Structure 1
Amino acid sequence: MQILIIHQNFPGQYKHLAPALVEQGHQVFSLTPKVEKRTVWKGVQLLPYKISRASSKEIHPWLADLETKVIRADACYRQALAWKEKGLNPDVILAHHGWGEPMFLKDVWPDAKMGIYCELYHLDSGESVNFDPEFETKDLRSNALRLRLRNLNNTLHFEAADAGISPTEFQASTFPEPFRSDISVIHDGIDTELVKPNPDAVLKISDDLSLTRDDEVITFINRNLEPYRGYHAFMRALPKLLKARPNAQVVLLGGDEVSYGSKPPAGKTWKQIYIDEVRDQISDEDWARVHYLGRVPYDTFLAMMQVSRLHIYLTYPFVLSWSLLEAMSAEAAILASDTAPVLEAIRDDETGMLTDFFDGDALVEKANALLEDPDKRARLGKAAREFVLKTYDLKTHCLPTQLEWVAKLTAK
């Protein structure tokens, strides 16, 4: 059977599923702009396509997002026609449609079954749009219109897709009926054999400083340091946290760009904005215990999780980060925001501790209490890993369930 996989940054969420389909004996292909010529990755044939035009400068701002997706969809469609002439005729198309590429692929292969990765449907409810008063949308009426247009990409794919897959119940719940009933909740999976406790782990900060399990290490991770993932809330609690924990080393991981939400003022980064906001509240001696690592190789990230004495995770009601589940798999004690997506993984005082996203004093108080209680941290860390093993383990649960989902999609 021929299977075509579409992801703007392949392999993305198909990192494990694509090679597993190859191992089952299927011919697996991916159309991607990330390669310039046909190549092979873990048995998957990578087929290039090029985006030949840029977005319009004068387009209505509500349509700008859709236009970028149509541009990608058009480029992918035209290259798909060319590959069809060369013999590509997939039985199944698996696609993350968030960037628009698969929008017209059923026009190329109308008999193919399409399963789409349903990451998020953009809601205009107060809980989602105005969760954070600091970044409140003033004109809710026009915001609802803007989001309706932004969801056109979802709607157009619903019309073409035969089924959907979503990694969490929260993310699936954002999608409307009737398509919600066609979405299976199956997480991408955590490789618990790789991400596990390591009492001998070492995290190198610099030539002069390496951290181990013997150090009091507090960790915080964003793909990019920004408000959507609670960076501002963490930074505002940091002065009191450093004073409460005079021996702690605070390690932050994340880039300077924007993954979600609004962009910072021109010429600035969210990272530096909130450093500037709190820096005069922190002594030079305490600031020397704060370490920004930027973006790091995976083995450095893994060591960071394995030496973490307390991992703090904050997020808006949004997509749940892999890093939270990986921290749990490494048996880190977790202090996380009491927000909807987090509640699927963190049960208060069972698999971690919960705190109000906006209450910096409560965050410091709960962090301090956990750092003073090694028995509780050990209990929470072990329970967290057990929960990940039972619910999110890649090899025993998630990947087999994903393969079953593809088989059912084929049989539709």
Structure 2
Amino acid sequence: MRILIVHQNFPGQFRHIAAAWAARPGYDVIGLGREGAPGMPGLRLFRYRLHRAPHKQQHPYLRQMESAVLHGQAMLRALLALKRKGFTPDVILAHPGWGETLYVKDVFPDARLIHFCEWYYGTPDADVGFDPEFPVTLNDAARIRTWKALHTLNLEHCDAGVTPTRWQWSRHPEIYRPRISVIHEGIDTDLLQPDPQAWLRLGNGLTLRAGDPVITYVARNLEPYRGFHVFMRALERIQRQHKTCHALIVGGDQVSYGRRPEGARSWREKMLREVQLDPSRTHFLGKLPYDGYRRVLQVSAAHLYLTYPFVLSWSMLEAMASGCLVIGSRTAPVGEVIRHRENGLLVDFFDTRAIAEQTLEALEGGVKFELLRKAAQICVRESYSLARGLDSYEQLLWPVENNSIQVKSPHV
């Protein structure tokens, strides 16, 4: 079985899957990513590069489409080079979100093309227009509608699709849903475990330990899509009432989703101008090595996960696996995993007072919250384990009669 795994930032979401398949006898696995992709030890990685950037004078509605074509063209050249080297894949697993797979079938028409269908933009009651603080203009709506063309093309020419949650599946057009399976990639629950002896020493010499009143917040980048602005306002309330708690904030200052702030270099800078926080108890840790991130979760007394109705972050499940008491926003797909006061706590995304009050209650601890932590661990171990994800992804490699496995997500 020859497998090509494509991700702009390889390995991306396919890290565990690529490692497992590469170690399997009889499997020949190659990665393909953009220049600068981190790659992974022991797996061959080929890279592609765009021959130019999108034209600055391109119509703004078409700028992302031109970028997609450029990505597809760069991939086309990389695929032709692989073909000349004698590699013809049986299966191609790809994240197509930037346009990489537009022309895959023109080079390898017989390969089974499996798309990671992460998100279909512009659907009702989802991310766009969710936050009244950032209203959507007609211009925004037109640009997003045009951008849908790429995602529709991706759905049209893949043989099968896979998406992590039922919510993300439901965002895709109904006509394509039968070919999209709901499978979460899985969380390494053997590595991510609670540690009552965990401690973390910060750059200023302060040491925080499991059991201390530590609030944690994690996102790839600190931005409104992941509720950073709401978190900061809630934290201001929390610090006024709790004089000894510390906040560990993990994430970068770039923008992964949505818009950049006006009049500031980052959302962190913008929010620090708005709210009054105690700098001695507010710790911005940036992007951490995995072991440091794991210890942040292990010392957490209350972990806040706030998100627009959008894709589910691995960090929420990793926090649950680590024994965190997760306070999540009552938004999709969070409620697909967290059941209020059964394995976590749910709050209204916009209600900073309720978020603060729930966090303060969580910091008090108690048996009831220990039971929630344990239930969160069990939930992830039973329903979102790496073994479960790998087993289900294995099924995607083989065609079935209706091109649909439809593995349902838990609790639905």
Q: What TM-score bracket applies, with the shorter chain setting the length?
A: over 0.9
Where does residue 364 of structure 2 map in the other structure? 372
Q: Name 1:4's counterpart in structure 2.
A: 4
Q: In 2, are the aligned partners of 1:314 and 1:357 still within 8 Å (CA)? A: yes
Secondary structure of 1:130's partner? Answer: coil
Correspondences of 1:199-348 after superposition (within 5 Å): 199-265=196-262, 268-279=265-276, 282=277, 286-348=278-340
What is the Cα deviation at residue 206 of structure 1?
2.2
Contact 2:222 2:254 in 1 (8 A): yes
Paired position in structure 2 for 1:394: 386
In 2, the alpha carbon distance for the partners of 1:355 and 1:175 equals 27
- Count residues in correspondence: 402
- Between 14-23 and 114-123, report the one with greater CA deviation: 14-23
Deviations 1:147-204 (A, max 9, x none): 2211111111122100000011111111012211111111111100100001111112
Structure 2 Cα separation of the partners of residues 399 and 263 of structure 1: 36
Q: Residue 312 of structure 1 aligns to which amino acid in structure 2?
A: L
Where structure 2 has 5 or more consecutive residues not aligned to the other structure, the ranges are 404-412
Mapping 1:16-55, distance limit 5 Å: 16-24=16-24, 25-34=26-35, 41-55=40-54
Residue in 2 aligned with 1:133?
132
**C-alpha distance in 2 between matches for 1:411 and 1:378:** 45
Show the counterpart of 1:14: 14
- Calculate the aligned-residue CA RMSD, in Å: 1.9
Deviations 1:339-378 (A, max 9, x none): 0110011100011111111111111111112222421220
Deviations 1:116-148 (A, max 9, x none): 000000124254321100001132xx4443222
Which string of whole-angstrom CA distances, capped at 9 and with x for unpartnered residues, describes residues 353-407 of structure 1?
1111111111111111222242122011000000001110102x11111112223
Q: Take 2:283 and 2:16, find their aligned partners in 1: how far apart are those partners?
A: 32
Paired residues of 2:301 and 2:362 also in contact (CA < 8 A)? no
SS at match of 2:57: coil
Distance verdict in 2 for CA 1:318–1:301, change over 3 Å: same
Q: Which moved more, 1:46-55 or 1:69-78?
A: 46-55
* Shift of residue 306, structure 1, vs aligned partner: 0.4
Contact 1:124 / 1:147 at 8 angstroms: preserved in 2? no
Kept in 2, the 8 Å contact 1:329–1:385? The answer is: yes
Work out the CA distance in 1 between the residues paired with 2:55 and 2:222: 29
Deviation (angstroms), 1:236? 1.0
Q: Does 1:188 align with 2:185?
A: yes
Q: How far apart are the structure 2 equivalents of 1:153 and 1:250?
A: 40
Q: Is the 8 A contact 1:256 1:269 kept in 2?
A: yes
The separation in 1 between residues aligned to 2:368 and 2:143, in whole angstroms, is 46
Structure 1's 9 and 410: CA in aligned 2 closer, same or farther, altered over 3 A? farther
Residues in 2 aligned to 1:15 and 1:40: alpha-carbon distance in whole angstroms? 9
Would the alpha carbon gap of residues 153 and 266 (structure 1) be closer, same or farther in structure 2, given more than 3 Å must change? Answer: farther
Greater fraction helix: 1
Task: Give the TM-score normalised by the residue count of structure 2.
Answer: 0.93
Q: CA deviation at 1:308?
A: 0.2
CA distance in structure 1 between the aligned counterparts of 2:336 and 2:263, rounded to whole angstroms: 37
Amino acid at match of 1:254: G
Q: Comparing 156-165 with 204-213, which one deviates more in the overlay?
A: 204-213
Q: Residue 127 of structure 2: SS of its match in structure 1?
A: helix
- Structure-2 separation of matches of 1:367 and 1:99: 38
Q: Evaluate the alpha carbon distance shift between residue 59 and residue 236 of structure 1 in structure 2; reply closer, same or farther with a 3 A threshold.
A: same
- Counterpart-to-counterpart distance in 2, 1:40 and 1:313: 28
**Residues 11 and 409 (structure 1), Cα distance of their counterparts in 2 relative to 1, 3 Å cut:** farther
Partners in 2 of 1:83 and 1:90 — Cα distance?
Answer: 10
**Residue type at the aligned position of 1:108:** V
CA distance in 2, matches of 1:40, 1:130: 36
TM-score if structure 1 supplies the norm length? 0.93
Partners of 2:308 and 2:40 lie apart in 1 by: 35
Distance 2:402 2:201 in 1: 50
Q: Please give the alpha-carbon distance, in whole angstroms, between the structure 2 residues aligned to 1:206 and 1:114.
A: 47
Unaligned runs of 5+ in 1: none
Deviations 1:222-267 (A, max 9, x none): 1111111001001111221002211111111110100100112265
Is the Cα–Cα contact under 8 Å of residues 4 and 94 in structure 1 kept in the other structure? Answer: yes
Q: How does 1:72-221 map to 2 (within 5 A)?
A: 72-139=71-138, 142-221=139-218
- Structure 1 residues 365 and 263, CA gap change in structure 2 (3 angstroms): same
**In structure 2, C-alpha distance between the alignment counterparts of 1:177 and 1:124, rounded to whole Å:** 12
Contact persistence 2:179–2:402 (CA under 8 A): no
Could you tell me how far apart the structure 2 residues matched to 1:21 and 1:127 are? 34
Q: Distance in 1 between matches of 2:134 and 2:332?
A: 19
Q: What is the SS of the residue equivalent to 1:178?
A: helix
Alpha-carbon distance in 1 for matches of 2:251, 2:101: 30
- Do the aligned partners of residues 145 and 117 (structure 1) sit closer, same or farther apart at CA in structure 2, a change above 3 Å counting? same
**Which structure 1 residue ranges, 4+ long, deviate > 4 Å from structure 2?**
39-43, 409-412
Could you tell me which amino acid in structure 1 is paired with residue 160 of structure 2?
A
Alpha-carbon distance between aligned partners in 1 of 2:125 and 2:345, rounded to the nearest angstrom:
26
Question: Residue 303 of structure 2: SS of its match in structure 1?
Answer: strand
1:207 offset after TM fit, Å?
4.5
